[in-house]
Amino acid sequence: MLLAGTVIADADTVVDDGAVVVADDTIVAVGEETTLRERYPDHERRTFDLVAPGLVGGHVHSVQSLGRGIADDAALLDWLFEAVLPMEAAMDAEATRAAAELGYLECLGSGTTTVLDHLSVNHAAEAFEAAVETGIRGRLGKVLMDQRSPDGLREETQAGFDESEALIREYHGAADGRIRYAVTPRFAVSCSEACLRGCRRLADRYDGVTIHTHASENEDEVATVEADTGVRNVRWLDEVGLTGPDVTLAHCVHTDERERTILAETDTVVTHCPSSNMKLASGIAPVADYLDRGITVALGNDGPPCNNTLDPFTEMRQASLLGTVDARDPTRLPASTAVAMATENGARAAGFERIGRLESGYKADVIGITTDRTRATPVHDPLSHLVYAAHGDDVVFAMVDGTVRYDGGEHVGIDAAAVRERATRHAERIVAEAGIEP
């Protein structure tokens, strides 16, 4: 297939009248359309206003999709313990499957082709199946919680590891490598020292398995960990082995100088979730400072109960606006940086090589975007447009691993209306069973 249009190859490179040529699951050429049409005359040609790399959601909770709008206007620990965890505890296999399918379809239909997904304690296999079925690229992990957790979610430390290991054997590398595994402790508040240290040992036993957790999102969380351990959260994670190039920490809003040095020296990846941080009033992550220190910072929508959208364009915009207002400097977090965070930095956060840019030899994860909208007219600068003007609904085409998964506003090979109907039905049931009053 030859995908023609204004090609945004990466955060610094735009090719006007360009094209991307795809063969099987790989990009084989990127350049001027006229040249490539001569070289690849037999490839089916599709034309879009903008052609861009599939975006990467560096921290998402697909299985929380049934909870969109259940807990607005609440602080993090109340939000978590009063609404989100009770919802997760009430979810059975069917509800988990419906939630994950809904989440992945929302991602694919708004330009996210890869996710780093923090699932739940129970029924994680359902989300893996949903990822295989919907065609999204993903690194997923069953959540581990062995202390300070509600009934229905807290489990014996070893039982969590045993199920994680079974999932690794079943799904790590599945669907031609499109699905991978991250060992996923919820956060230090809900995980014992034995659990956290065991996460490192488990990840090290399997080639390419990484670690994904939350860290220092909220001041109460940091205070709780300090009271438990005597040190601040990121220092604690470092002590128990949960820093390093194979570790992605969501949030890192509240870190001191020493913790930032640890993040930089260990090459730990941070995922910034600006909408979630604003909605839960968690604070402003020092993203520009992290980037200055050479720390890789990706972007994530977090979950539907704290955002309440999985639109990646919203997150690029919020990251840029929040970063510049925090610095009182409009040059501090420009559009190109936000695009890099949602593409190449996201690829590192999710632990996939050769995604996040349009380049020969890279995986064919490509999106097509329309600018045929009143609010999208005119387009002077495609990078600026992606970050400040585009919406997820402007995505009209999404290809993952060379397979078209979304085309002309329709999901390919899956009945999205049926998924929405199932999700609505399960959402009503689960919220009622959990006794949550939205």
Minimum separation from the CB atom of position 186 to Zn ion (A):
9
- Pick the stretch among 11-19, 30-38, 220-228, 302-310 that binds Zn ion (CB under 5 A): 302-310
Which is nearer to Zn ion, 213 or 371 (by Cβ)? 213
Q: Residue 117, interface with Zn ion (CB under 5 A)?
A: no
Binding-site residue total for Zn ion (CB under 5 A)? 1
Minimum separation from the CB atom of position 61 to Zn ion (A):
6
Minimum separation from the CB atom of position 76 to Zn ion (A):
10
Minimum separation from the CB atom of position 155 to Zn ion (A):
19
Torsion, Cα of 106, 111, 115, 117 (10° steps): -20
Which is nearer to Zn ion, 33 or 302 (by Cβ)? 302
- Tell which one of 117, 129, 302, 394 touches Zn ion (CB under 5 A): 302
Minimum separation from the CB atom of position 81 to Zn ion (A):
14
- Which run of H or of E encompasses 39? helix 33-39
Structure tokens at 352: 């996939």
Cis check: omega of the bond before 378, within 30 degrees of 0: yes
Minimum separation from the CB atom of position 383 to Zn ion (A):
28
Which is nearer to Zn ion, 302 or 344 (by Cβ)? 302
Residues belonging to the chain: 438
Which is nearer to Zn ion, 10 or 302 (by Cβ)? 302
- Pick the stretch among 14-22, 178-186, 297-305, 341-349 that binds Zn ion (CB under 5 A): 297-305
- Pick the stretch among 67-75, 82-90, 300-308, 363-371 that binds Zn ion (CB under 5 A): 300-308
Structure tokens at 361: 């030899």
Q: How far, in Å, CA of 312 to CA of 299, rounded?
A: 8
Q: Pick left, alpha or beta for residue 391 (phi over 0 → left; psi -120 to 50 → alpha; otherwise beta).
A: beta
217-to-132, 189, 229, 301, 391 alpha-carbon distances in Å? 31, 12, 17, 14, 26
Which is nearer to Zn ion, 129 or 302 (by Cβ)? 302
> In the Cβ-directed half-sphere of 165, how many Cα atoms lie within 13 Å?
13
| Helix, strand, coil distribution of the chain in percent, nearest 5 | 45, 25, 30
Minimum separation from the CB atom of position 217 to Zn ion (A):
8
Residues of the shown chain interacting with Zn ion in the complex, contacts defined by CB under 5 A = 302
